[in-house]
Structure 1
Amino acid sequence: MLERLRRRVFWTPRQKFLTSLVVTALVLGLGGYGISRLTTPEDRSCAAGVERPHGSTECVGVNGDGHAFGMPDLAEIAAAIGRENATLKDGEYATVALLLPLTAADHGMRVKVLHEIQGAYAYQYRANHESNSETPKIRLVLANTGKANAHWRSTVDRLKAMTGAPDRLRAVSGVATSSTEVREAVAALTGAGIAVVGTTITADDIANGPGAGHQRFPGLARVSPTNGDEAKALAHFGEVDAAKALLVQDTRTGDHYTDTLKAAFAASLKGAPYEPQLFTSPPDPTDEGTTANTFRQITHLICDTRAETVFFAGRHTQLRQFINALGARGCAERSFTVLTGDEGSYLGADSKLNRAALKARLTVRYAALAHPDAWRPAPGRPVPATGGSATAFRTFLTDIARASAKPVPLTDGQAIVAYDAMATAVHAIRQATPKNARYPELADVATQWPQVKGSLRVEGASGWICLDNYGNPYNKAVPIVDLAPDGTQRFVRIAWPEGEAPTASCLPPKRG
């Protein structure tokens, strides 16, 4: 009885028709939604000029509107750059891009990146507000190459598309690591006629030089000395006895910093009685890997030698592991000095460094790219008469104070070098701008480097920047820094690749 009633009430022909209509509408609607989802491209944008590559959660690309690429530590400085850029009018500026791995996973690299951006912004502000209204004004943009510079190609392609209006990209700075990816990025940029100013690249093979086939990066300039110059400066400073010296080196190839550093150290140790002690870092040298075990064994072998000085050719993670192992060596009664390149600057902020090792008759010294005490006069340590000046450094201190509400740490040298690289880029842009023109032609900026010397040098906060005909700094000041037992990076004195400070003219000599 109830079943007959249900059929009569709920399943009349009219209701069946209405039910079919509703079901059809629902199916078509959901199907249309599904088709729309399948056919509409996923929105992977993060900000203007920035998006997440497929298979990645990183925001990669180029932006100068205040976007921080998802990195909270960069929010303050990115916002400052965005505010400065917003004051510029179309047609009155040229753009400089800061090419860096902004979303790096390694803490040390993230700190380095932050300080470099702060230094670059400090000079952007000076160029726009403290340079007697010189033109063009400077727009600064941030260009993210991603973790380990993995997305350099898409970011470089974006930069190459920015040379016309409204961006008028005229130079790229940053370029801060001596890796294969950075080398390829520099080759692509300079191949497109874009001037590049490296900040902390020190590898000898990411540079131009005399002779056929050595102009691999036309338009590249650097403000940091090469690894070869760092090694020469260390040798002049320490007067190392090769008979009592030993080289510890990474066997992993393809890392241009390490490859050229070990070659430079080996050249300084001709006649040394001991073969190098070898280790192999992981493919990503910021990984801990198993090299700590290797270093424990190497310290035993070092104790078997008469060595007093150990040259270390490797990245900062392995350097820290080596220092920790050497601090626990069996021959604790013997004293050792470890000499290394500018990767030593990372150690001051490395929480995994065993600072007790630095009290165990162990001295750690590195060739820094810059140090805040290098051009500050102190009792018993006058500032050199040439090669740099206290005045230029005081100007930098005024400018860097604008980059953050909190004082910017300077002992790692990154902010200082980035400031100088930006100053060099701006110098070239303005020197290349014809009279009565608003901005220079792209090709004219990249040809300026041979004239950056003598009275046309850049008075850098890290020292004079006098470039040779190939864009390399001539006899650049190299601060030698001690890693103190409390972890502070203590300036010792300036060393010079040529053995003494440059003359007042600062004109590179003719090379054979």
Structure 2
Amino acid sequence: MEVERQPDIPPVPRPPWRKPKWWLAAGVVLALVAAAVVVPTVLRSAGRCADGVTRTDTGECVGVTDGSYVFAPELAEIQGLVRAENEAVVASGEPFVSIALMIPMTLTDNDTTPVEWVRHHLQGAYVAQYRANHDVATGDRPLIRLLLANPGSGLARWQPVVAELERRRTTSDHLVAVTGIGLSLATSRDAMVRLSEAKIPLFASTLTSDDLRDIDGLVNMAPTNAAQARAAATHVKANTRTAMLIQDDTEDELYAKTLAESFSTTFVDVDHSFAGQTEFFDSRLGGVANTFLQMVPNICTARPGVLYFAGRGQHLLMLVAQLVERKCKDHPIRILTGDDLSVVAFPGDLARRAADAGIDVRFTALAHPDAWRAAPAEFDAQSTYYLRDQICTVCFPLLFRNDTLDDASAIMAYDAVLTAVRTTRFAGKPPGRLVSPEDLLQVQNRLHGENAVPGASGWLSFDGHGSPIAKVVPIMRVQPDGTAGFADIARS
């Protein structure tokens, strides 16, 4: 069958705007390429605060910087100093390595540490860095860069920060150690375990928890809670024969449990005993103040030479408020506790009332500048010079006129960085390469005896678990205005 032929239909002319042009086709290709490159970049930058620093879903900027990115307005001045010293190190052309200070630098309402604690850590670390680079008494090579690592509030974002620190071992930063940490939290332990697995040495500043002693590569500047309690017990045994223990019995409160066990073991002997039974309370439950009110009559009856409070500072304030109203005001009350009280604001009104009621509150501290004057033989004068000299323009008192050493943060951070520096320079210069983190791990085992580190918080001779041996422990006393004054010195 023959198909009927249709008449030819002339083609319809394409409108001018639809005619293909080479430049338009090229433009489409370029646009697609640009979209493939720019869009992901924009999306990434939306969560990026700076090189090595990212923005979290809570708005915090966490990560690692050389000081060029400022984590908080209160840290701008000190971060500027760190950045300038880091730039000078690089510009010198001399071999250098980097040491990181890792502490939370963006605080929220959930943090118990004040921003002053953070700033003082940075200040102490910077003074140590400056001394390491300009005072040949600490050695001279390699030079030291200081990286600032912010794992966020409560160290909750430690994972990306630790990953960034691991990466910087093999970059031009030459990271060899991490200092700081500072807080005895579960997140702190997780971060340190990961750093330990990565063979990065750790030099902790203010960690006191006893359950961190099993982390390889960790060296701690601070005496453990158990060591502080032993020092406190030994100290009071010289002038009292009886004690009474008040203990937070919360199941997960390891701090209180450690203090209680260590104090009890050290205090009790043939000549020293407890008056009355231990008074327990549970800080998880409501009515803690009411519980303390019920304890007061037993305290009055026992009339102990000292009350040892194994608990947190915020709860001690409640106990003091109840003791102010006790009936046995003829019996002076002496209270001794751990260093947690150092981070609690003691209300001036309560402190005055306590003093008027014959209540003397003391606590162990990690360090205090008054100890340098009270017991100069316990400290190396060169190690404290950069923190105490009033004329030296690069020393703490003139650099940071509005800040103080009293909370121990700057002193402990200074010691942590200088110990890392000493370890680095003890490692020497391996043939054909810079010192590595593994080299520092070898040297850590030698930091004892004749190789003890002269720290501003006291001589640092470390045991096999990285804890300081027989270190001095300042005993602080709450003054009638609520501030803490140096009272005495003990030994851990």
User: What range describes the TM-score normalised by the shorter chain of this pair?
Assistant: 0.7 to 0.9
1:461 aligns with 2:456: yes
- Map of 1:310-325 to 2, 5 A cutoff? 310-325=307-322
Matches within 5 A, 1:179-218: 179-207=185-213, 216-218=214-216
Contact 1:375-1:383 within 8 A present in 2 as well: yes
Residue 124 of structure 1 and its aligned partner are, at CA, apart by 0.4
Assess, with a 3 A threshold, how the Cα gap between structure 1 residues 407 and 472 changes in structure 2: closer, same or farther. Answer: same
Verify the 8 A CA contact 1:122 1:403 in the aligned structure 2.
Answer: no
Equivalent positions of 1:153-168 (< 5 A) are 153-168=159-174
Greater gyration radius: 2
Q: Which residue of 2 aligns with 1:72?
A: 73
Q: Secondary structure at the match of 1:354?
A: helix
Offset at 1:313?
A: 1.9
The partner residue of 1:252 within 250, 253, 256 is 250
The residue type equivalent to 1:484 in the other structure is Q
Checking the alignment, whether the CA contact within 8 Å between 1:50 and 1:59 is kept in structure 2 is yes
Give yes or no for contact 1:76–1:404 (8 Å, CA) kept in 2.
Answer: no
- Report the Cα distance in structure 1 between the residues aligned to 2:257 and 2:398, rounded to whole angstroms: 35
Q: Does 1:439 align with 2:434?
A: yes
What residue in structure 1 maps to residue 368 of structure 2? Answer: 371
Pairwise CA distance, 1:352: 7.2
Evaluate the alpha carbon distance shift between residue 242 and residue 196 of structure 1 in structure 2; reply closer, same or farther with a 3 A threshold.
same
* Structure 2: segments with no counterpart, 5+ residues: 1-34
The one-letter code of the counterpart of 2:447 is V
| 1:340 aligned to which of 331, 337, 340 | 337
Task: Choose the corresponding residue for 1:355, options 344, 351, 354.
Answer: 351
Task: Tell me if 1:327 matches 2:318.
Answer: no
For 1:97 and 1:407, how far apart are their aligned partners in 2? Answer: 25
1:187, CA displacement in angstroms?
A: 1.4
Q: Equivalent residue for 2:118?
A: 113
In the aligned structure 1, how far is the partner of 2:190 from the partner of 2:251?
16
Equivalent-residue separation in structure 1 for 2:231 and 2:94 (angstroms) = 45
CA gap of 1:491–1:458, structure 2 versus 1, over 3 A, is same
Q: Distance in 1 between matches of 2:301 and 2:341?
A: 26
Q: Look up the equivalent residue of 1:246 and give its one-letter code.
A: M
> Match for residue 12 of structure 2?
none
In 2, the alpha carbon distance for the partners of 1:40 and 1:64 equals 24
2:379 maps to what in 1? 388
C-alpha distance in structure 2 between counterparts of 1:60 and 1:292, whole Å: 39
For 1:358 and 1:437, how far apart are their aligned partners in 2?
A: 65
The 3 A distance-change label for structure 1 pair 441 and 367 is same
- RMSD over aligned Cα, in angstroms? 2.8
Q: In structure 1, what is the Cα distance between the partners aligned to 2:45 and 2:245?
A: 53
Q: What SS does structure 2 have at the residue aligned with 1:479?
A: strand
Aligned to 2:407: 412
Question: Structure 1 residue 123: deviation in Å?
Answer: 0.4
SS in 1 for 2:83: helix
* Deviation at residue 303 of structure 1 after TM alignment: 3.1
Q: What amino acid is aligned across from residue 280 of structure 1 in structure 2?
A: D
Quick one: distance in 1 between partners of 2:436 and 2:258? 35
CA deviation profile, 1:313-371 (whole Å, cap 9, x unmatched) = 22232233333333333433321111111122224x54577222233211111111111
The offset of 1:221, in angstroms, is 0.6
124, 132, 136: which is aligned to 2:129?
Answer: 124
Q: State the shift of 1:42 in Å.
A: 6.9
Taking a change above 3 Å as real, the CA distance of residues 339 and 122 of structure 1, as seen in their structure-2 partners, is same
Letter in 2 for 1:103: T
Query: 1:295: which partner in 2?
Result: 292
Query: What SS does structure 2 have at the residue aligned with 1:178?
Result: coil
Kept after mapping to 1: 8 A contact 2:234/2:267: no
Identity of aligned residues (%): 35
Offset, 1:493? 2.3
Contact 2:349 2:481 in 1 (8 A): no
1:84 alignment partner in structure 2: 85
1:48 aligns with 2:51: yes
Counterpart residue type for residue 443 of structure 2 = Q
Contact 2:94 2:143 in 1 (8 A): no
Against the structure 1 CA distance between its residues 437 and 467, is the aligned structure 2 distance closer, same or farther, given a 3 Å change threshold?
A: farther
Shift of 1:243: 6.9
SS at match of 1:262: helix
Alignment of 1:139-158 (within 5 A): 139-158=145-164
Aligned residue identity for 1:307: P
Segments of structure 1 that go 5 or more residues without pairing to the other structure are 1-31, 208-215, 284-288, 498-512
User: Are 2:481 and 1:486 aligned?
Assistant: yes
TM-score (norm 1): 0.78
**Using the alignment, how far apart are the partners of 2:184 and 2:348 within structure 1?**
24
Instruction: Give 1:487 shift.
Output: 2.5
Given residue 412 of structure 1, which amino acid in structure 2 is its aligned partner?
D
Q: Supply the distance in 1 between the matched residues of 2:135 and 2:453 (Cα, whole angstroms).
A: 16
Indicate the residue corresponding to 2:260 in structure 1: 262
| CA 322–96 in structure 1, closer or farther in 2 if over 3 Å, else same | farther
Q: How far is the alpha carbon of 1:250 from its aligned partner?
A: 2.2
Task: Give the letter aligned to residue 236 of structure 1.
Answer: T
Structure 2 CA distance for aligned equivalents of residues 324 and 40 of structure 1? 55
Name the TM-score, length of structure 2 as normaliser.
Answer: 0.81
SS in 2 for 1:237: helix
